[in-house]
Amino acid sequence: MNRLERAIVALAPIWLALAPSATAAQAAAQEIGGLRAYWHVFIAYTIAIALVLGWVISIARRLRDVEERLGRG
C-alpha cells in the first residue's frame, strides 16, 4: 500500500463514525428555512470571524505604530 492508501484506511473509521450523524443533520434541515437558513448561518459565522480578525489586525497595527514611535524616541 502506498502512503495515500494507508491514510485512507486510517481515516476510514473516523469518517464512518461521523458520516451517519452528518447525513442525518443535513436531512432535517431541508424543511425549516430552506436554503435561506444556510445563508443566514454562513453570514453569521462570517461576521463572527471577520470581527475577531478585524480586532486582531487593529491591535497588530496599533502595536506596530507604537513600536515605531518608541524606536524613533
Cα 12–chain centre separation: 23
> Under the criterion CB under 8 A, does residue 14 sit at the interface with another protein?
no
Whose Cβ is closer to another protein: residue 6's or residue 22's? 22
What's the first-to-final CA gap in the chain, in angstroms?
63
By CB under 8 A, what part of segment 48-67 binds another protein?
Answer: 48-49, 51-52, 54-56, 59, 62-63, 66-67
Q: Is residue 20 within 8 Å of residue 27, measured between CB atoms? A: no
- Cβ contact 9:1 at 8 Å: yes
Residues that bind another protein (CB under 8 A): 18, 21-22, 24-26, 28-29, 31-33, 36-38, 40-41, 43-45, 47-49, 51-52, 54-56, 59, 62-63, 66-67, 69-70, 73
